[in-house]
């Protein structure tokens, strides 16, 4: 399995390339670059389409050379497709362990980014999606994972531990204090027990925020090496899978790399009082 990186020649694309190549090198896995020529160009004439194709080939060759410079022993390939970019990447993702895209959207709440492509891809991809912002500088520490008490959330914790071990960073369990105190305490204890069983090399810490869950994770994304959030999916679902409020708010307001991990939605046996905000479709 390899890491799939969406490229288009933009600054955001380069952020995804740099992050994805470093991640693949650390994981000792292959890299596939995918340039998708938007099929809205199908309305233009044959000569214009041929020119677009030639431009795409030049761009892809340049990005391929850059990726190989930083990939170490990880093999790198590149491909060109024609179609809706996010739909195409989501369809291709099933053959990879992770798909990575860049974003220009780095903002604060109620500010930027309606229609951000990260939301579109995260709502369709059957595998984890990493969304990497253009500007994510500054000193960062830890791999943060949101804990909401959702049944099946263990997948996000496991993914976060894996990423923490790859980066040599501690795992930070993040929970909003807006959840029920009793159920919230149970969820964080359960997540910590699982994380400690998986033994992250740099240890486990907890952080409880007074902010709503999406905002708390967005704030953490400005401090963390990576912020991980789980996304419930439903068996047999195909195509678009609605994002919940927490994931949507995080992706709309991220300030550093974010990993969205899909997991099967399971019947909960916890307290009937909800510990996370209700799922709803993202407005894009």
pLDDT at 269: 43
**Same domain, residue pair 42 and 59:** yes
Condensed to tens digits (0 to 9), the pLDDT of residues 45-66 reads: 667 767 877 888 999 999 999 9
Instruction: Give the CATH number of the domain where residue 162 resides.
Output: 3.40.50.12370
CA gap 237, 224 in Å, rounded: 32
How far, in Å, CA of 119 to CA of 123, rounded? 6
Check residue 39 and give its pLDDT.
Answer: 67
pLDDT for residue 60: 95
Q: Where are the alpha helices (DSSP H) in the chain?
A: 11-27, 46-70, 85-93, 117-122, 154-167, 181-198, 213-221, 245-252
143, 75: one domain: no
Q: Over the stretch 114-129, which tens digit does the pLDDT of each residue have?
A: 346 788 899 999 999 9
Structural domain ending residue among the three candidates 103, 120, 141: 103
Task: Pick the most confident of 181-190, 231-240, 267-276.
Answer: 181-190
Query: In this structure, what CATH number is given to the domain that contains residue 22?
Result: 3.40.50.620
Same domain, 150 and 10: no
Q: Same structural domain for residues 120 and 133?
A: yes
Q: How confident is the model at residue 111 (pLDDT cuts 50, 70, 90)?
A: very low
Q: What is the average per-residue pLDDT within 83-108?
A: 86
DSSP single-letter state for residue 126: S
pLDDT per residue as tens digits for the range 69-85: 999 999 999 999 888 88
**Residue 215: both structure tokens together:** 């905002």
Predicted confidence (pLDDT) at residue 279 exceeds the cutoff of 50: no
Q: What is the pTM of this model?
A: 0.86
Per-residue model confidence (pLDDT) at position 178: 73
Q: What length is written for the chain?
A: 284
pLDDT band (50, 70, 90) for residue 109 = very low
Lowest mean pLDDT among 39-43, 256-260, 261-265: 39-43
- The distance from CA 275 to its chain's CA centroid, rounded to whole angstroms, is 22
CA distance 238 to 119: 16
Residue 115 confidence (pLDDT): 44
Q: Looking at the structure, do residues 44 and 124 belong to the same domain, yes or no?
A: no
DSSP for 202-238, please give it.
Answer: T-EEEEEESS-HHHHHHHHHTTSSEEEEEEEE-TT--
What's the pLDDT score for residue 37?
Answer: 85
Has residue 181 got a pLDDT over 80?
A: no
Same-domain pairing of 78 and 112: no
Q: Do 263 and 191 share a structural domain?
A: yes
pLDDT, position 278: 39
Question: Which of the listed residues 49, 82, 103 is the one where a domain comes to its end?
Answer: 103
Distance from C-alpha of 224 to C-alpha of 112, rounded to nearest angstrom? 21
Total count of domains within the chain: 2
191, 157 in Cβ contact below 8 A? yes
Q: What is the residue-averaged pLDDT of the chain?
A: 84
Q: What percent of the chain has pLDDT over 90?
A: 59
- Give the domain-ending residue among 103, 129, 155: 103
CA 210 centroid distance within chain: 24
Cβ atoms of 44 and 20 closer than 8 Å:
no
pLDDT band for 24, please (50, 70, 90 cuts): very high
Residue 214 sits in the same domain as residue 279: yes
154 shares its domain with 81: no
- Domain range enclosing 183: 108-284
CB 146 within 8 A of CB 213: yes
Q: Are residues 92 and 73 in the same domain?
A: yes
User: 176 and 216: one domain?
Assistant: yes
> Under 8 Å CB-to-CB from 203, ≥6 apart: which residues?
170, 171
> What are φ and ψ of residue 102, in 5° steps?
-100, 165
Q: Are residues 157 and 40 in the same domain?
A: no
């Amino acid at each position: 399995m390899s890491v799939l990186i969406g490229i288009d020649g933009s600054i955001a694309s380069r952020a995804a390339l740099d992050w994805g190549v470093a991640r693949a090198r650390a994981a000792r896995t292959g890299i596939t670059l995918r340039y998708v020529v938007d099929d809205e160009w199908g309305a233009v004439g044959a000569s214009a389409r041929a020119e677009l194709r030639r431009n795409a080939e030049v761009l892809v060759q340049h990005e391929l050379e850059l990726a190989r410079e930083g990939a170490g022993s990880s093999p790198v390939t590149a491909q060109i497709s024609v179609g809706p970019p996010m739909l195409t990447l989501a369809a291709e993702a099933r053959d990879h362990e992770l798909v990575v895209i860049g974003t220009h959207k780095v903002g604060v709440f109620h500010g930027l980014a309606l229609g951000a492509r990260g939301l579109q891809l995260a709502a369709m991809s059957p595998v984890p999606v990493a969304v990497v912002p253009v500007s994510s500088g500054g000193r960062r520490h830890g791999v943060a994972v949101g804990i909401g008490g959702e049944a099946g959330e263990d997948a996000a914790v496991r993914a976060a531990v894996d990423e923490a071990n790859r980066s040599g960073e501690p795992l930070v369990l993040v929970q909003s204090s807006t959840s029920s105190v009793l159920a919230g305490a149970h969820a964080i204890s359960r997540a910590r027990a699982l994380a400690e069983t998986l033994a992250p090399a740099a240890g486990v810490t907890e952080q409880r925020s007074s902010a709503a869950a999406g905002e708390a994770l967005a704030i953490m994304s400005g401090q963390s090496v990576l912020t991980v959030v789980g996304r419930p999916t439903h068996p047999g679902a195909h195509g678009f899978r609605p994002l919940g409020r927490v994931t949507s708010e995080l992706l709309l307001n991220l300030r550093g790399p974010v990993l969205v991990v899909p997991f099967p939605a399971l019947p909960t046996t916890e307290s009937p009082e909800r510990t996370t905000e209700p799922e709803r479709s993202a407005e894009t």
